[in-house]
Amino acid sequence: MNTQHALNRRHFIGFLGLAAGSSALALTPSRALAGFRLADDPILAWDELSKGVHAMVDASTGGNVLTVASADSVVLIDTKFAHLGRALLTDAQGFAPGDAKVVLINTHHHGDHTGGNGSIVPKAEASYAHENALPRIKDSFSSVKASARQAKKTVEGGGSVELIRSAIRTERAAAKWQRTSIVPETGVSGEKTSITAGELAMDLYHFGAGHTDNDLFVHIPEHNVLHTGDVVFNGLHSFFDQTAGYSTKGWVNSAKRGYELCDADTIVIPGHGPVGDRSILKAQSEYLEQLIEAVQAEIDKGTSKEATANKSWPFMEGLGFEGIRGRAINAVYDELAG
């Protein structure tokens, strides 16, 4: 099994105690119990942020997803896990008129943001990720395909009939997937890359290593919307993956640069946690700055890594994802201690 994909599922589903049952399906109770959906009713549960702009925000199903419709195209940002990819594609196309062309963007390589790619990349008009993400996504192929082959089992017990049907189709399609089926077509580099989908212009920003070495912000000026990927964990402890080229100080810089893209009215979609405004970018940078300061103080006092990991400070209290608090401390300790 690919260790990267296994790590993502373990820490975002198992380790955090996020059930893979009915709560993981992000369905409204009435939709789940009814067992059917009305025509033109989405399979999954979405929040409409503004006309043509929808977000699926639910920690138990992976990273937050955003869709933005424009003319005959729709942008889909991130794809959660493999069992949800086809349903995401169906819903995204349903938000645009006619047979909408799909433009896919992955904010970074982690499996809870790219696991559904196999259902989407082959059908997308265009697909993008940072160039550093491409080999990491490719390396996750075996475990992603294995997960897709269990899609029906994953959604059974809490899914609507339509979601279960979608999962069955995913299982059948996965048998024919190749490595290229899950990897976005275009790797972007540099600080800013401008692309279009239909009549919609958007900018992809990479401010260097932060949460990973392949983080992308997706800024859509027409709708004043910013998807931050996992540069922001809103109201949650931040997840550190020590195999992903992270930099805590770089992460602070990325959050601050992302803040500069916003005005007071910008809608900000974090990688995890509820949708907010630019203040959640400020809160993220402050969390990391205080974590650096607190851990450095322990290092200066000669406190061991193990003892430091068991500590907490006021800025860390009351946050979700408590199970990874110690992991965050350990990662910063390792980085600062060299």
Q: How confident is the model at residue 212 (pLDDT cuts 50, 70, 90)?
A: very high
The reported pLDDT for the residue numbered 156 is 87
At 293-305, the pLDDT tens digits run: 999 999 999 999 9
pLDDT tier for residue 21 given thresholds of 50, 70 and 90? very low
pLDDT score for 237 = 98
In the chain, % of residues over pLDDT 70? 88
Determine the Cα–Cα distance for residues 84 and 223; give it in Å rounded to an integer: 26
**Cβ partners under 8 Å of residue 88, min gap 6:** 44, 56, 65, 76, 79, 80, 116, 119, 120
Give me the residue spans of the domains in the chain.
3-295
Q: Of the CATH numbers 3.80.30.20, 3.40.30.10, 1.10.375.10, 3.60.15.10, which one belongs to the domain with range 3-295?
A: 3.60.15.10
Task: Say if strands 101-105 and 73-77 run parallel, antiparallel, or are unpaired.
Answer: parallel
Q: What confidence tens digit (pLDDT) does each residue in 117-153 have? A: 999 999 999 999 999 999 999 999 999 999 999 999 9
CA distance 9 to 159: 19
Residue 315 has pLDDT above 60, yes or no: yes
In DSSP terms, which residues pair with 69 in a beta bridge?
74
Q: Which residues contact 103 (CB under 8 A, 6 or more apart)?
A: 73, 74, 75, 76, 124, 125, 126, 127, 128, 195, 197
Angle at 320 between CA 245 and CA 152, to 5 degrees: 80
Model confidence over 40-69: pLDDT tens digits?
689 999 999 999 999 999 888 999 999 999
